[in-house]
Amino acid sequence: MLSRLLKNNDEVFNKAFKYMLQAEQDFYRSVPPQMLTINLFKCIEIIINVFDGKTFNKKLQRASIDLNLEEEDITGVKKLKEIRNYGDVAHPRQSDHTDFYPPQFPIPQNVDFPNFWHSGLTSKVLLNYFLYVDSLIEIKLSNDTYDEEDEIISVNYGHKNSYYKIKPSVKNNERITPFIKKKLSEYFEVPYSRIRLRTHTHSGLIYQIKDHLDFELDPIRAGRSHQIIIPL
């Protein structure tokens, strides 16, 4: 899993991770807890906004399905958003002269901010988002149907524009979706039921393989057909 994290090139994940890392580092630099709260929620917000929905709560509800968030997590995200938007973090309604003290130990008791540390929730959202995007693969069907056998090829594995190309044989007459699921099931040696179609794109189809960490995606290490094509 660590190798996949290091190879990851998802822009949303990388941007969100920077805010999470900043908050973790600032915690040990005695940065005011209000700033930690802003960075922690910003990490979550970047990820939630990727999902469909007209409002943040609608996006959160959709994201909770794909990111396996429990009701407790959803409540925590909403609470953190409220703290960020309406609490003492972004729009303080009352202040104390010690609010403007530089970071120090001990923190004055009358300016303690009890709601700032949500790193566990933030890291869960971040990690589950990585697992979600890592389970998605793009499929492109080849128009070349002259071969006698079906073929699946990995293109650009480990690069940003990676995808899998499926070349149906001249004998194939199956419907596209079941055919692709069957080929992926055979290729990755996973049950047919763990593969589902997520969406269509302008260039191909996006499929998700559930529990994908149980098998090796890298076609080189698995000894499968593989092509490295670097786009110009």
> Do residues 170 and 221 share a domain?
yes
> Do residues 60 and 155 share a domain?
no
pLDDT score, position 160: 66
pLDDT in tens, 111-130: 444 445 577 889 999 999 98
Look-up of token digits 């917000």? 45
Stretch among 65-69, 96-100, 107-111, 175-179 having the lowest mean pLDDT: 107-111
Within-domain flag for 51: yes
When pLDDT is cut at 50, 70 and 90, the band that residue 92 belongs to is very low
Within-domain flag for 211: yes
> Do residues 145 and 69 share a domain?
no
Can you say whether the dihedral through the CA atoms of 85, 91, 94, 96 is positive or negative?
Answer: positive
Identify the CATH number of the domain in which residue 62 sits: 1.20.120
Phi, psi of 124 (to 5 degrees): -65, -45
Which residues, 6 or more positions from 118, have their beta carbon under 8 angstroms from its beta carbon?
Answer: 37, 40, 41, 76, 80
> Do residues 120 and 193 share a domain?
no
For residue 231, pLDDT beyond 60: no
Alpha carbon distance 176, 170 (integer Å): 14
**How does DSSP classify residue 146?**
-
Q: Which pair of tokens denotes residue 98?
A: 């010690």
Identify the CATH number of the domain in which residue 184 sits: 3.30.1200
Task: Say how far residue 217 (Cα) sits from the centre of its chain.
Answer: 17
Within-domain flag for 232: no
> Do residues 34 and 145 share a domain?
no
> Do residues 32 and 120 share a domain?
yes
> Do residues 151 and 86 share a domain?
no
Please give the order of strands across the beta sheet that includes 226-227: 195-200, 205-209, 136-141, 163-167, 151-155, 226-227
Domains: count for the chain: 2
For residue 186, pLDDT beyond 90: no
pLDDT in tens, 136-153: 888 887 776 556 677 777
125 and 43 Cβ atoms separated by less than 8 Å: yes
What's the domain range around 83?
2-93+102-108+116-133
162 and 9 Cβ atoms separated by less than 8 Å: no
